[in-house]
Structure 1
Amino acid sequence: MPFVNNWNALGVAAPVIALLLILSVVALAIVLAKVWQLRSAPLRVSGAMREALALAQAGHYDPAVNRLSRHRGPVAQLLAGAVEGLAAERDAVAIREAFERQGTVVLMEQRDGLRTLEMIGHLAPLLGLFGTVLGMIEAFQALEAAAGPVDPAMLSGGIWAALSTTALGLAVAVPSVIAFNLLDQRSLRFAQVLDGLISELLVPDVAKPTAAPQP
């Protein structure tokens, strides 16, 4: 079979290529899972959510919570919890702290798997280079062991098999690094969105003047 013959031609580089293929599948699975997960946490705040925020700022807490409860996703849930805290007349600092704790959990879920993706981006080129070194060693060993005139095809075939691991390592690493940076920046922007929303919600409460003591 052509596939079996080509695979056998890779020699000692074959296990490295197999490992790189496994890493590529893992990286692709992480990226697809993150894209699917982030669909429920858009960076753009919807008009309905803005209306709920305006209701809460005006003191209409129950209608605001009802509107937020219609939205699926972590942002609406976090805002609903903060609005419920305002309705219960909790301190603004305590509401912000609770919001930030819950928001940190959401951010950690979004960043789950990113370290693995980053590791694959750094590890894949090194594995590719390692496979190339092994392949070159095997090619020159075969060249040394050959009796009689040296066939250039023997050396070129070994070099081809060796360099294929470097190419594959780069092919796995480049998309992994790009995906990691995009997802990492996206999580940072999401954190900024959360911080802006809770500040916008609590500004009226924080800015309320302290009532003068009754004489």
Structure 2
Amino acid sequence: MELQAQTVSQTTQHIFSLWDILFSGGIVSSVVMSAIFLLGILALYIFFERYFFIRRASKTPSDFIDNIKDFVYEGKIEAAVDLCKITNSPEARMIEKGLSRIGRPISDISNAMQNQGQIEVSRLEKNLNILASASGAAPMLGFLGTVVGMIMAFFEISNVMGTVSPKLLASGIYTAMATTAVGLFVGIPAYFFYNILVTKVDRLVLKIQTHANEFLDTLNKPL
């Protein structure tokens, strides 16, 4: 008898299947899951694309600003412009804009560099708002899927004649809550990805501002 009971228990025991849990909640749950996975793929793409873009933009030679200063002191403006074009970094483009205004009042040079700086910052921050939206939208979609799934589960239970088994109730609940888990699984890393990129952008912007100020000080410094 004990052997038969163990056999029945083993045959009725459910095997945990992540795929069945994720996509067994009906059409609404499947749509929500698909949307969350798409957000996850989008977040990963934006993170790696921005990460390597910012990394490339940060690779300015350590002696760049010193060489610019030497060229300015020696009056070799064309050589300084050529160095900026070769360097091809955000700070190089800002300084190149300032070099093109040499001979005008220092306020005009500063304004031109600030305008170019705003363009460079905008390039660095491209699509970061989408990444931030993905970090917030994924958990919200997960909660939506859970709420809809719970409503549908209880609606089906209400149509069951007689006593509702705990097994049926539990099955509907854990299937519905799977969307919340997946939403958090996507949203939490996306949130960290966003903050990592924002920190890198802030550091690069501070570096650019420092070099821009050094360049303006060079123009103001008497020979």
Query: More deviation in 100-109 or 5-14?
Result: 5-14
Pairs within 5 Å for 1:137-152: 137-152=151-166
1:161 match? 175
RMSD of aligned Cα (Å): 2.5
Distance of aligned partners of 1:5 and 1:127 in 2 relative to their CA distance in 1, 3 Å threshold: closer
Aligned with residue 20 of structure 1, among 36, 42, 49? 36
1:33 partnered with 2:49: yes
CA distance in 2, matches of 1:3, 1:205: 65
CA distance in 1, matches of 2:158, 2:210: 68
Q: Secondary structure of 1:150's partner? A: coil
State the 1:45 CA deviation: 4.3
What's the CA shift string for 1:93-139, capped at 9, x where partnerless?
21111111011011112112111111122222121111111111222
1:90 match? 104
Give the letter for the 2:45 counterpart: A
Tell me the TM-score normalized by structure 1: 0.82
CA distance in 2, matches of 1:139, 1:187: 46
Pairs within 5 Å for 1:41-190: 41-42=57-58, 45-59=60-74, 60-86=76-102, 89-190=103-204
Q: Secondary structure of 1:47's partner? A: coil
State the 1:200 CA deviation: 0.4
Matched pairs, number: 205
Segments of 5+ residues of structure 1 without an aligned counterpart are: 210-215
Segments of 5+ residues of structure 2 without an aligned counterpart are: 1-16
Give the letter for the 2:187 counterpart: A
CA distance in 2, matches of 1:103, 1:3: 49
CA distance in 2, matches of 1:104, 1:46: 22
- The answer on whether the counterparts of 1:48 and 1:67 sit within 8 Å (CA) in structure 2 is no
- The answer on whether the counterparts of 2:36 and 2:182 sit within 8 Å (CA) in structure 1 is yes
